[in-house]
Structure 1
Amino acid sequence: MSSRKRFWKNVTLGEQDGLFRPELDGRPIRLPKGEVLAVASRALGQAIVAEWSRIPEEESFTPEQLPLTRIAGTMIERIRPDLIEAREALLRHGLDDGLCYRKEKPDSTVERIFEWLAKEGIQPSVTDGLMPITQSGDYITGLERLLTRQNEAELAVLGVLTQSFGSLLLALALVSGAISKEDAVSVANADERKQLLVWGRDDELFRVMTTREQDTTEALTFLGFAREG
């Protein structure tokens, strides 16, 4: 992405209408569609202030250096206006979820995820083949119910994780606390690890795995601050 140079001296946290907004030299930050960057959590607002403050004076920066801002922007401009559509978009991923395609016996983490899903009333069909699975109506209803419980910050994080993992079910298990970050990344990186065992060192595979772990860390950091209030 194109870079910009730091043009502000001070970053502070303002408050208006119950929302906390980082300000550059007293001015609010505008997102790509024109919305003001403002969040409901003071802790998240402070973390975003710290993120902008870390940009060295007079130096160029890119959006990659502002991960909390990026996720907040998605939440504000894409999710907040229509939570129903955001949930439906995630649901579509869950109808053909990567976790439901088993090439071999699942490991203990995957088994724990399916046990947790069963407690939530969600029992997905799985296959060891390549043909697409058609999930039951009960599965869809259960997944809809679980997504309805997710607030705007959780939906934003689920969007990041689902894209990174290729699995909504894996993302939901992580956001809900059923598994750890390390377990989630291990499951998500399973295919790349197998390829490395077969083909040896591959810089592109390492890049994919490293990026996935970074995306996960950034998403969970965002969620942690958002939940602090």
Structure 2
Amino acid sequence: MSSRKRFWKSVTLGEQDGLFRPELDGRPIRLPKGAVLALSSRPLAQAIVAEWSRIPENEAFTPEQLPLTRIAGTMIERIRPDLTEAREALLRHGLDDGLCYRKEQPDLTVERIFEWLAKEGIQPSVTDGLMPVTQSGDYITGLERLLTRQNEAELAALGVLTQTFGSLLLALALVSDVIEQEEAVSVANADERKQLLVWGRDDELFRVMTAREQDSSEAMTFLEFSREI
């Protein structure tokens, strides 16, 4: 990913029309499509100010060093214009969800997730084989209903978490406080742990597992700040 050098001297927090704007040398941050980075949550805006402030002077940086900014930009420019489209995109992941493919008996965390889903009227079809499962109409309706309850910040976090975990159901359980982040990462990393037991140390597997932990941590940090006013 291309890098740029820090070009600003100061990072401050401005406010306009009830929204909080991280500003570089008194100017608002513009997102890739031209929208201003402005947020309803002061704590989230302050965290983004801190994120930009941590970039050392005259040193190169990449968007990977600005995860809260990146997720906020996705929320503002891609999700906010059409929440329905964002929900439909997530739903498509849920139709072939990684959590529905069981290679062995599920652990206690997965059992808790399925118990919670059942209370929400969502009962996924599961398989221990390789062929894709076909979900029922009731499953789809229940998942649509659950996604409708997610606001734009939750949808932004879910977008990151679903890609990271390979499972919308696992991501929804985390965002809904059914499980903790460590539990979600443990479930998502189960296959890699098994491979490590069989084949021994593998740097690429460690990289994948570490990336999952970092990506999910960034998404949940964004969500936690966004829920504060």
Q: TM-score, normalised by structure 1?
A: 0.99
How far 1:15 moved relative to its partner?
1.2
Deviations 1:117-176 (A, max 9, x none): 011111111111111111011100100000000000000000000000000000000000
RMSD: 0.6
The correspondence of residues 9-20 of structure 1 with structure 2, limited to 5 A, is 9-20=9-20
Structure 2 unmatched ranges of 5 or more: none
| Partner AA of 1:192 in structure 2 | E
Q: Percent identity?
A: 89
Aligned residues: 229
2:215 aligns with: 215
Cα offset for 1:39?
1.2
Q: 2:38: which partner in 1?
A: 38
Write the distance in 1 (CA, Å) between the matches of 2:151 and 2:194.
36
* 2:149 pairs with 1:160: no
SS of aligned partner of 1:228: coil
Q: Any idea what the Cα deviations from partners look like across 1:2-60, whole Å, max 9, x if unmatched?
A: 11111111111111122111000110111111111111111100000010011111111
Structural mapping, 1:2-151, within 5 Å: 2-151=2-151
Q: Which amino acid aligns with 1:210?
A: T
Take 2:26 and 2:177, find their aligned partners in 1: how far apart are those partners?
38
Counterpart Cα distance in 1 of 2:116 and 2:131: 26
Q: Distance in 1 between matches of 2:26 and 2:201?
A: 50
TM-score normalised by structure 2 residue count: 0.99
Whether 1:177 and 2:177 are equivalent positions in the alignment is yes
* Structure 1 outlier segments of 4+, above 4 Å: none
Amino acid at match of 1:216: S
